[in-house]
């Protein structure tokens, strides 16, 4: 298991994409958009292979007020679906909860979204290129 990415909600997606790419010598990946929800994001790949996901969603911005921006989740990458499912069960048995059942995401990754006992969001995933 490794830290795959950290997700941040931001107000100005373009500005923050330039900031993180320029300040940390990161490579911006393609814009991801979900027209049904209005969600948009860029991944910034850092030299170590870890990524920062910059996310924007107008509905969240209008509802969130001052709490709109900031860290939203940490994504942990696993080698297999079975490992994601086992980790999900461990989270639940240790006092956490499933926020969204395991599924294939819009980007093609296998993802389970969970919360730790204090409500911090974790994405447990297998990247699409690692799915067997």
What is the per-residue DSSP string for 90-130? HHHHTT-EEEEEEEE-TTS-EEEEEE-TT--EEEEEE-GGG
Asked which of 72, 93, 120 is the last residue of a domain, the reply is 72
Per-residue pLDDT at 54: 94
Same domain membership, residue 67 and residue 120: no
pLDDT tens track, the chain, 132 positions: 889 999 999 888 999 999 999 988 899 999 999 999 999 999 999 987 899 999 999 877 666 555 677 888 999 999 999 999 999 999 999 999 999 999 999 999 999 999 998 888 999 999 999 997
Domain end (from 72, 92, 117): 72
What pLDDT score does 117 carry?
Answer: 85
Could you give the CA distance from residue 36 to residue 44 in angstroms, rounded to a whole number?
24
Same domain, 11 and 52: yes
d(CA 91, CA 98): 8
Does one domain contain both 66 and 1? yes
Give the residue numbers spanning the domain of 86.
78-132
- Whether residue 38 is found in the same domain as residue 102: no
Please indicate, yes or no, whether residues 124 and 103 belong to a single structural domain of this protein: yes
Q: Of the candidates 72, 94, 113, which is a domain's last residue?
A: 72
What CATH number corresponds to the domain at position 93?
3.10.180.10
Whether residue 68 sits in one domain with residue 8: yes
């Amino acid at each position: 298991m490794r830290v795959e990415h950290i997700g941040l909600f931001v107000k100005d997606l373009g500005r923050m994409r330039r900031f993180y790419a320029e300040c940390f010598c990161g490579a911006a990946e393609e814009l991801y958009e979900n027209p049904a929800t209005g969600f948009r994001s860029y991944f910034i790949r850092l030299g170590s292979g870890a990524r920062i996901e910059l996310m924007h969603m107008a509905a969240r911005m209008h509802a969130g007020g001052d709490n709109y921006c900031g860290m939203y989740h940490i994504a942990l990458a696993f080698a297999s679906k079975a490992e994601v499912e086992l980790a999900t069960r461990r989270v639940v048995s240790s006092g956490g909860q499933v926020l969204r059942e395991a599924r294939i995401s819009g980007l093609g990754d296998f993802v389970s979204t969970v919360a730790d006992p204090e409500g911090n969001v974790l994405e447990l995933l297998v990247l699409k290129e690692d799915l067997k």
